[in-house]
Amino acid sequence: MKKIRTGIFSGSFNPIHIGHLALANYLLEFEGLDEIWFVVTPQNPLKVKEPLVDDEKRLEMVKMAIEDCQHFKASDIEFSMPKPSFTVNTIEVLQEKYPEREFFLLIGADNWLIFHKWKDYEKLMRECNILIYPRRGHVVYIDPEYPNIKSVNAPLIEVSSTFIRDSLKRGKNMRFFMSSKVYEYVKRKELYI
């Protein structure tokens, strides 16, 4: 039986924005994925502890942003796992829990350049499908020894959660950088001000 090709898009989504959604849409439509799961990460071990809106609010924003997309799912799997969240552990849990799925780790070229700093990165490179999307100024080299790792030619969309948070703090209208439901939620809850 053919496995369900499932992209794992992990991030803090602090907040989720149109760049995340456009990229996920591209990967779904052009890379043969059946679904994309947005895994909301409580703590990235390689990022300085950025001020995060609490986990449940970030999960709620992801759910709002993708509610009309039947092939997108929000996942809180890392909420119940030990902190910080290590991708290798998340993938293991997912593979065990959903044997009918073939998982594809979705990462940016910026993360690929520091992939050697990830916990058990060699295991991930050997045992996991990895799709690397472009980031401006980052060249991707993949050793031919790893046919399960692929660089994809997704469009560059240069919107960041940091830019959105900083702009909201300065009182800027960021309505068109997020789905309207997420923007209204951010305003109603007075997040990032």
Which homologous superfamily is 4-157 in? Answer: HUPs (3.40.50.620)
- In degrees and rounded to multiples of 5, residue 64 shows phi and psi of -65, -45
Three-state DSSP class for residue 16 = coil
Q: Where are the domains of the chain?
A: 4-157
**For residues 65 and 60, what is the distance between their CA atoms, to the nearest angstrom?**
9
> How high is the pLDDT of residue 48?
62
Tens digit of each residue's pLDDT (9 = 90 or more) over 37-90: 999 999 776 666 667 899 999 999 999 999 999 999 999 999 999 988 899 999
**For residues 82 and 41, what is the distance between their CA atoms, to the nearest angstrom?**
11
**For residues 79 and 160, what is the distance between their CA atoms, to the nearest angstrom?**
23
> How high is the pLDDT of residue 1?
86
Q: Which residues of the chain have pLDDT under 50?
A: none
> How high is the pLDDT of residue 70?
96
